[in-house]
């Protein structure tokens, strides 16, 4: 607009000044090596205006052409982006439906033209892995890495998850260790580390991060995770170093763990498995009063007491007898069972028979092996009638269970 106005002003000035300069205008000489050109001032102005108009016209045509090319490019780019967005949404729907082959094609086809190409490549890799194509999954991850760089948390998380799905535990373990260095407080990294450490039975590594994941799980789930880890640590020490290794490991633990009664009972169980009954007995005496009032832990401890074979169990027997007098009926059955086994191993079959009579009286709390041990005890004291009755009842119970199982099988078959 300004250029057109400029040209019009020059022409207007020429029209006004032209008549005034007639007869007085002189001339303009343009001399070259071969020719001389003489022009009036008015002619020079007109030529100048025409030249400027030609230059501006050429500039307008070039600009128009470039703008047209840019608009064309923008139109194609917008079309590809909209198409990629549409295919991505459709691919995610197919992925939720379980059609991973179609989902991979839709998400990965125009991934580079989508709004978030890295996410597209990651989703395409997950879809490829779900249909079992590890090569395609790795290819998509490589493309995502090229766009995001090697230290991108999102890509590395996806890579580690896929390694876990491929059951490549050593590689997944190495990858998640690197992620923990890159983002040690990231919730997704911590959860993934827990899953990998559990699956690879790396309980020592899990122990290093267990406090950091406390708020990431519900209380019951977190407690179960801690107990699984502690059982794993105990089993690892027992299998590698036996009773001596277990005791050395125990003395190195923090006060918090040494006061954890679940770990104490687990240690007692494994010391008994290692045939170290004396150390297991001493630890049982220490733990006995600490689990009072906790039904689950008390029951677990009583179950281990039935396995104990110390040289002298007098102290523990006195503790059990004292607690039996003040316990509820269901707990009393567990205590009497433990007492019965301790008396048997002490050779006191009379007291053992009294304890097993109380156990047999509580049918709902009886264990499968109680009747067998009770019959053996009654035989040892010469009470053959009672022993026969116990064996008969045990046989009837076994037959009833067998008939019930056969009925269930027949019903299922029908």
pLDDT 10s digits, 142-182: 777 777 766 678 888 888 888 888 888 898 899 899 889 88
Backbone angles phi, psi at 303, to 5 degrees: -65, -35
Under 8 Å CB-to-CB from 367, ≥6 apart: which residues?
337
Please state, in angstroms and as integers, the Cα–Cα distance from residue 351 to each residue in 221, 273, 329, 355, 391, following that order. Answer: 43, 27, 19, 6, 20
Confidence of residue 252 (pLDDT cuts 50, 70, 90): very high
Give the tens place of pLDDT for each residue, 325-377: 777 666 788 888 899 999 988 888 888 888 888 888 877 777 778 888 888 88
Mean pLDDT across the stretch 7-33? 62
Mean pLDDT across the stretch 116-126? 71
Lowest-confidence region among 85-94, 116-125, 203-212, 317-326? 85-94
Most confident of 80-84, 235-239, 375-379, 409-413: 235-239
pLDDT above 90 (res 197): yes
Cα atoms in the 13 Å half-sphere on the side-chain side of 35: 2
Confidence of residue 287 (pLDDT cuts 50, 70, 90): very high
- Cβ(354)–Cβ(320) under 8 Å? no
Give the tens place of pLDDT for each residue, 55-104: 777 877 777 766 665 555 454 456 555 665 666 556 656 655 666 666 66
pLDDT above 90 (res 321): no
Higher pLDDT, 123 or 2: 123
If we measure between CA atoms, which residue out of 304, 311, 98 comes closest to residue 320? 304
Beta bridge partners of 28: 39
pLDDT of residue 410: 46
Token couple for 348: 């006191």
Phi-psi region of 149 (alpha: psi -120 to 50; beta: other; left: phi over 0): left
**CA gap 349, 85 in Å, rounded:** 81
pLDDT of residue 277: 92
CA 69 and chain centroid, separation: 49
Q: Burial of 194 by CB count in 10 Å (0-12 exposed, 13-18 middle, 19+ buried)? A: buried
pLDDT of residue 88: 59
pLDDT of residue 230: 94
Q: What percentage of residues in the chain have a pLDDT greater than 90?
A: 24
pLDDT of residue 129: 75
Using DSSP, state whether 25 is helix, strand or coil: coil
pLDDT of residue 85: 60
CA quadruple 397, 399, 400, 402: dihedral positive or negative? positive
How many other β-carbons are positioned within 10 Å of the β-carbon of residue 320?
Answer: 22
Radius of gyration of the chain, Cα coordinates, nearest whole angstrom: 45
Under 8 Å CB-to-CB from 66, ≥6 apart: which residues?
none
**CA gap 35, 31 in Å, rounded:** 6
If we measure between CA atoms, which residue out of 70, 66, 17 comes closest to residue 44? 17
CA 368 and chain centroid, separation: 40
Give the tens place of pLDDT for each residue, 179-193: 898 888 888 999 999
Confidence of residue 233 (pLDDT cuts 50, 70, 90): very high
- Cβ(352)–Cβ(377) under 8 Å? yes
Give the tens place of pLDDT for each residue, 205-226: 999 999 999 889 999 999 999 9
Using DSSP, state whether 28 is helix, strand or coil: strand
pLDDT of residue 210: 92
pLDDT of residue 413: 41
**CA gap 66, 63 in Å, rounded:** 5
**CA gap 108, 103 in Å, rounded:** 8
Backbone angles phi, psi at 50, to 5 degrees: -65, -40
- Cβ(156)–Cβ(182) under 8 Å? yes
Mean pLDDT across the stretch 388-400? 75
**CA gap 48, 143 in Å, rounded:** 59
Using DSSP, state whether 34 is helix, strand or coil: coil
**What's the pTM value of the predicted model, to 2 decimals?**
0.70
């Amino acid at each position: 607009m300004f250029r057109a106005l400029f040209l019009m002003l020059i022409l207007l000035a020429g029209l006004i000044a032209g008549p005034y300069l007639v007869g007085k205008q002189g001339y303009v000489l343009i001399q070259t090596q071969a020719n001389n050109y003489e022009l009036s001032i008015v002619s020079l102005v007109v030529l100048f205006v025409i030249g400027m108009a030609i230059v501006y016209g050429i500039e307008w045509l070039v600009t128009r052409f470039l703008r047209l090319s840019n608009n064309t490019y923008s139109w194609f780019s917008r079309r590809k982006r909209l198409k990629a967005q549409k295919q991505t949404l459709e691919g995610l729907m197919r992925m939720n439906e379980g059609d991973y082959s179609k989902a991979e094609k839709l998400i990965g086809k125009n991934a580079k033209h989508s709004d978030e190409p890295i996410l597209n490549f990651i989703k395409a890799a997950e879809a490829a892995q779900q249909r079992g194509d590890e090569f395609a999954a790795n290819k998509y991850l490589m493309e995502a890495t090229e766009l995001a760089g090697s230290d991108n948390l999102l890509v590395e998380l996806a890579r580690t998850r896929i390694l876990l799905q491929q059951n490549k535990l050593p590689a997944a373990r190495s990858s998640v260790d690197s992620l923990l260095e890159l983002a040690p407080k990231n919730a997704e990294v911590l959860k993934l580390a827990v899953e990998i450490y559990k699956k690879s039975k790396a309980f020592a590594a899990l122990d290093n991060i267990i406090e950091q994941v406390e708020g990431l799980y519900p209380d019951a789930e977190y407690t179960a995770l801690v107990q699984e880890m502690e059982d794993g640590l105990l089993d690892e020490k027992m299998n590698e170093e036996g009773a001596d290794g277990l005791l050395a490991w125990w003395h190195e633990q923090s006060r918090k763990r040494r006061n954890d009664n679940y770990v104490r009972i687990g240690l007692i169980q494994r010391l008994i498995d290692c045939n170290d009954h004396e150390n297991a007995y001493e630890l049982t005496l220490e733990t006995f009063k600490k689990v009072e009032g906790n039904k689950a832990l008390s029951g677990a401890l009583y179950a281990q007491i039935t396995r104990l074979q110390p040289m002298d169990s007098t102290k523990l027997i006195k503790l059990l007898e004292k607690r039996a007098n003040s316990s509820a009926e269901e707990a009393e059955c567990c205590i009497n069972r433990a007492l019965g086994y301790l008396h048997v191993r002490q050779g006191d079959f009379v007291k053992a028979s009294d304890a097993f009579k109380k156990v047999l009286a509580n049918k709902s709390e009886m264990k499968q092996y109680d009747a067998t041990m009770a019959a053996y005890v009654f035989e040892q004291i010469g009470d053959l009638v009672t022993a026969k009755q116990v064996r008969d009842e045990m046989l009837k119970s076994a037959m009833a269970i067998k008939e019930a199982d056969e009925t269930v099988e027949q019903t299922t078959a029908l």
